[in-house]
Structure 1
Amino acid sequence: MSRGLAALGDRNFRWFFLARAITLITGSMSSIALAFAVLDIDNHPESLSFVLAAFTVSNIVFVLFGGVVADRLPRALVIQACYVLDILSIGTVAVLLFTGTASIPAMVGLAALNGASTAFVLPAMQGIIPQLTTPAHLQQANAMLSFVRSAVTIGGPVIAGVLVSTVGPAWAMVVQVLGWLAAIPILAMVKLPPPAGSGEFSLFADLRTGWTEFWSRSWLWTIVLAFMIMNAIHVGAWGVVGPYIAKNDDRLGISGWGWVVSAEGVGVLLMTLILMRFPLRRPLRLGMIGMAVFAIPLTVLGVHPAVVLLAIAAFLAGAGGEIFSTGWSLAMMENIPGDMLSRVSSYDMLGSFVVMPIGTLVYGWLITRADPATVLVTSGILYAVIALSALAVPSVWRMGRPEGAIAVADS
C-alpha cells in the first residue's frame, strides 16, 4: 500500500473512514441548501444569522458535556446516537420544506437541535482517530479524511446550487438523511477497547481535569483565543454576507457562490494530496500562516465579487486552511493524552465557537447598515493580523513533531 494510504491498513480506520466518507458525501450539499432555504422563507440576512446562531449557541451550551461523555463512553457509540438525532432534525426540515410549512422559528429550533448533536459528535470524532490507527499513520489518516471532505465540497456546492435553483433545497436534506442511515451500521464494525476513563462519574471533576490539561499548554489556548475572533469573522463575513451577496449581486449569483465554495474545496483537496506524502514539521507555524490567506477572498468578496476572481482567492484560502487543519489535529493528537483528548478538544471547540453567534448576528445587522466593501475589507485585514500575531508566541512558532512520526513519514 502506498505511503499516502497507509492508514487504510488499519481495520478500524477503514470502517470509520467508510462511514465518515458516506456522511461527508451525502451531507455536502446541506449547508448551502439550508442557507438558501432560509433566505427563501425570508430574504433577509438577519433571518439567516438567527438560524446559524441557534446552531452555534446550542453547540456551545453542550460541547463541554459532549467532551466528558466522549471520554467516558465508546466514541463510536456516541457518534451513532448523534446520527439518530440528526436524522430526526434534518428529516423534519425536509418535511417542512416539502409541505411549504417551514418558518424561521421552526428552522431556528431544528438548527439548535442539530447543534446539540454536533456538540457530542465533534469531541468524539477528535478523540477516536488516534484509537483507529498507529502514530506513524496519524498524519495520513487526518489527510485522508480531509481529502474526502474537500473532494465532496468541490461537487456538492455546485450540485446544491443547481438543485436549489431548480427543485428546491429539501432534496438535499433527504440525501443527508440517507447517508446518516447508512453510516450507523458501518460504525458498528469499529471495534475498540473500553474507554480509558474509570472511577465514579463526576461531571465537574472531569471538566476540571480537562481544563487543567488545556490551560497548561500556551500553544493550545493561544490558538483558541485567536480563533475565537477569527471564527466569528469567518461565520459572519463568509457564512452570512457571502450567501446574501450571492443572492442579490448578479456578478456572483447562487450558482456562482456554489462554484466559489467548490474552488475552496479544490484548494483543500490538492493540499491534502501533498500532506499525505510530506510531513508537516512545524504544524502550527505553517498552519497559522496558511490561515492568514483567508483575508484574500474576504477582500475580493467586498471589492469585486466576480465568480472567477473570487474562486481563485477561495482556492488559495482552502489550501492554506488545510495546512492548519491537519497541523492542528496533529498537534492535539500527538501532545494530549488519549483519555483526555475529547475533553480538551471540547474546551478548544468552546473557545473557538463561543463568539460565533455574535459574529453571525453582528454581520447580519451590519451588512444592512454599512457599505459591504468596507465591512469585508476591514474584516480581511483584522483576520490576517490576528492569525499572524499568534506566531509571536514561542510555543506556537517552535511546535514540532515527534521524531518517530517524521522518520516514518520520510521513509
Structure 2
Amino acid sequence: MTGSALAPLRDRRFRWYFGSRAVDMVGDFMGGIALAFAVLEVSDSPSALGAVLAAHSIPMVAFLLIGGVLADRFGRTLIIQLSNVTAGVTQLAIAALILSGHAEIWQLVVLTAVNGVAAAANQPALAGLLPQLAPKDSLQQANVLNGLLRNIALVFAPALGGALVVTVGAGWAIAINGVTYLVAAALLVPIKLPPPPARADRTGVLKDLRIGWAFFRGTTWLWVIVLAFGVLNALSSGGNGTLGPAYAKASAIGVGGWALIVSAGACGLVLTSLVLLHVPLRRPLLWGMLGCSLHGAPMIALGTTDQLWIVVVAAFAGGAGIEIFGLGWDLAMQEHVPADMLSRVYSYDMLGSFIAIPAGQLAFGPLGAAFGLQHMILAAGVAYFVIALATLASRSVRTMERADATSTTSAPVS
C-alpha cells in the first residue's frame, strides 16, 4: 500500500477512531459466536437461540430512526460511547449469569434486547462519524480502510471466539467481548469535534424525523436503492443464508464445501478492499450496483451445479462485488447528504434495507420444501441479479459522480 492509501491514518483523530473500530469489531464478531454457544449451554433448543437472537435484532430495527436522530442531535462520538458502554455492561452481565450457572433464557432475552437498543443508536452514529474524521480528498481510502478492517475481523474473529469457547468457556468469551466494548468507548475519548450547531427551529424528535424523511423521499437515488435492498436482502438471507447451507449439506458439496464457499466470499471482500485503496470510483452508484449484481452469482451457481469450484469462484466474485457496492454507497451518502442529517438518513437506509431480512429467513424454508432447495436458490439468485441491474434504469443512480473533494455539504457535527 502506498502512502496515499494510508493517508487517513496520518490524522490523529482517525487513528483513535480506527483503533476503536478494530477493538469493537473483533469483540463483536467473537462475541456473536460465544453468545450462541452460551445460549445452547442454558437450553439445548434452537427455538431458545432464535428467541435470544431475535431479541437483539427486533429492537435494533425498531429504534434505528430514533438512534439516527440522537446521533445528529447530541454528537456522534457521545452516542457511540454511550451505546458501547451499555453493550459492554449487558455483555458482562450475561457473562456473570453464565459463569455463575444461574442464567435463564428470559434473562438473556432481556439483556440482549437492551444490547439491541444500544446497537440501534450505535450504527447510524458510526456511519455519520467517519466522514467528519477523514480529509475530503481521502474519503474513499478512509472508507476502504474501515471496510478492510471489518473484512479481516470477519475472517478471523469468529474463529477466535470459537477457540475461546472451547478453551475457557462461552461465559469468559462473552466477558472478554464486554471488555472490548468498554475499551472501544475509551479509545474515542481523545477525539474532539465541534458540538452540533444549535438550531432555533429544532422542536423535537418527531420534527427531526420528518426532516430526514422529507430528504429521503425527495432524493431519487436514495429511495430507489433502499427500496431495492429491502428485496435484495430478503433474497440473500433466504436463498443464500437459509437454503444455501441446507442444500450444501444434502448435496455433494457438503459442510466442508460450504465452509470453502463462505471463505471464498470473505477473500473476495478483503482483496477487493486492497484494490479499492488505489482505484477511484468516479461513479460510485453505477459501479456499486454493477458490483452488487455479482452478489447473485453464488446463488445462481449453487442453483445450477454441484461443482464446488464453480460455486467457490462465484462466491469470490460475489464478495468482491458487494464490497464495491459498500464503498460506492458510503461515498454517495457521505458526499451527497447534508452532514447535519447524515445519521438520520443512514437510519432510514438501514431500516428499509434490514426490515425484510426476517421475512426472507422465514419464507424460504417452506418455499424450498415445496419447490425444491436448488430451484429456490436459483430463483433467488436470478431475481437478485435482475433487481440490482434494474436500479440502473434510474438516471440519478447511473450518472451520479463523486462530489468535488474540496466541497462540503454542511458544517461538521460531532
TM-score range, shorter chain: 0.7 to 0.9
Is it true that 1:205 corresponds to 2:207 in the alignment?
yes
Shift in CA distance, 235/94, structure 1 to aligned 2, threshold 3 Å: farther
Q: Is the 8 A contact 2:240 2:377 kept in 1?
A: no
In the other structure, the counterpart of 2:142 is 141
Q: State how far apart, in whole Å, the 2-side matches of 1:48 and 1:231 are.
A: 22
Paired amino acid for 1:276: L
Q: Once the two structures are superposed, what CA deviation does each residue of 1:358-399 show, in whole Å capped at 9, x if it has no partner?
A: 223334555566632233222222211211111111111111
Among 229, 242, 254, the alignment partner of 2:231 is 229
Q: Report the CA distance shift for 1:338/1:91 in structure 2 as closer, same or farther (over 3 A).
A: same
- 1:27 maps to which residue? 28
Residue type of the alignment partner of 2:85: V
Counterpart of 1:4 in 2: which secondary structure? coil
Contact 1:156 1:262 in 2 (8 A): no
Matched, 1:386 2:374: no
The whole-number CA distance in structure 2 between the counterparts of 1:256 and 1:104 is 34
Point out where structure 1 has 5 or more consecutive residues left out of the alignment: 407-411
Residues 1:335 and 2:322 are matched in the alignment: no
Find the counterpart in structure 1 of residue 217 from structure 2: 215
Are the counterparts in 2 of residues 27 and 175 from structure 1 also a CA contact under 8 Å? no
* Separation in 2, partners of 1:172, 1:92: 13
1:196-215 residue CA offsets vs partner (Å, 9 max, x unmatched): 35234411111111111111
* Structure 1 residue 99, shift from structure 2 partner: 5.7
SS at match of 2:282: coil
- State the 1:175 CA deviation: 3.4
1:314 is the counterpart of 2:318: no
Instruction: Give me the whole-angstrom Cα distance separating, in 2, the residues matched to 1:270 and 1:81.
Output: 34
Identify which range, 34-43 or 392-401, moves more after superposition: 34-43
Normalised TM-score (structure 2)? 0.86
Q: Compared with structure 1, are the counterparts of its residues 305 and 72 closer, same or farther at alpha carbon in structure 2 (3 Å cutoff)?
A: farther
Pair 225,47 (structure 1): closer, same or farther in 2 beyond 3 Å: farther
CA positional deviation for 1:57: 2.2
8 A contact 1:35–1:243 mirrored in 2: no
Is the aligned partner of 1:183 residue 2:184? Answer: yes
| Aligned CA distance change for structure 1 residues 186 and 258 (closer, same or farther; 3 Å) | farther
Shift of the 270–400 alpha-carbon distance from structure 1 to 2, 3 Å rule, reads same
Conserved? CA contact 2:247–2:374, under 8 Å: no
1:2-81 to structure 2, matched below 5 A, reads: 2-35=3-36, 41-42=43-44, 44=46, 50-81=51-82
Hey, what does 2:326 align to over in structure 1?
Answer: 325
> Contact 1:127 / 1:341 at 8 angstroms: preserved in 2?
yes
Q: Residue 139 of structure 1 aligns to which amino acid in structure 2? A: Q
Distance 1:183 1:334 in 2: 27
Pairwise CA distance, 1:275? 1.3
- Post-superposition shift, 1:165? 6.7
What is the RMSD computed on CA atoms of the aligned residues? 3.1
TM-score (norm 1): 0.86
User: Following the alignment from structure 1 to structure 2, what is the Cα–Cα distance between the partners of residues 123 and 353?
Assistant: 13
Residues 267 and 104 (structure 1), Cα distance of their counterparts in 2 relative to 1, 3 Å cut = farther
Distance change >3 Å, CA 94–CA 252, structure 1 → 2: farther
Deviations 1:227-259 (A, max 9, x none): 111112233344444566678889543x76555
- Does 2:117 match 1:116? yes
Q: Give the distance between the partners of 2:65 and 2:364, measured in 1 at CA.
A: 27
Query: Which amino acid is the alignment partner of residue 283 of structure 1?
Result: P
Code of the residue aligned with 2:235 in structure 1: it is: I
AA aligned to 1:69 is L
In 2, Cα distance between equivalents of 1:135 and 1:91: 39
CA–CA separation in structure 1 for the residues paired with 2:231 and 2:10 = 39
Please tell me the residue identity of whatever aligns with 2:147.
S
Aligned to 1:131: 132
Report deviation, 1:64.
0.8
1:298 — aligned with what?
299
Count matched residues: 404
The answer for unaligned runs of 5 or more in structure 2 is 408-414
Determine the structure 2 residue equivalent to 1:355. 356
Supply the AA of the counterpart residue of 1:86: A
| 1:352 Cα deviation from its structure 2 partner | 1.0
Shift of 1:122: 1.0
Amino acid at match of 1:353: F
Distance (Å, rounded) in 2 between the aligned partners of 1:162 and 1:300: 32
Cα displacement (A) at 1:104: 5.7
Q: Is residue 234–residue 357 contact of structure 2 (8 Å, CA) maintained in 1?
A: yes
Match for residue 378 of structure 2? 377
Q: Take 1:383 and 1:90, find their aligned partners in 2: how far apart are those partners?
A: 36
**Does the residue aligned with 2:380 lie in a helix, a strand or coil?**
helix
- Name the aligned partner's letter for residue 18 of structure 1: G
Kindly indicate whether the alpha-carbon contact (under 8 Å) linking 1:52 and 1:357 is maintained by their aligned counterparts in 2: no
Kindly, what percent of the aligned residue pairs are identical? 42
CA 1:126/1:166 → structure 2, altered by over 3 Å: closer, same or farther? same
Give 1:30 deviation, angstroms: 3.3
The AA in structure 2 aligned to 1:19 is S
Shift of 1:109: 4.0
CA contact (8 A) 1:57 1:354 kept: no
**SS of residue matched to 1:192:** coil
Q: Name the structure 2 match of 1:271.
A: 272
2:410 maps to which residue? none
Corresponding residue SS for 1:388: helix
- 2:63 aligned counterpart, secondary structure: helix
- Would you say the 8 A contact 2:239–2:381 is kept in 1? no
The residue that corresponds to 1:409 in the other structure is none
How much does 1:38 deviate?
A: 5.7
1:315 Cα deviation after fit: 2.2
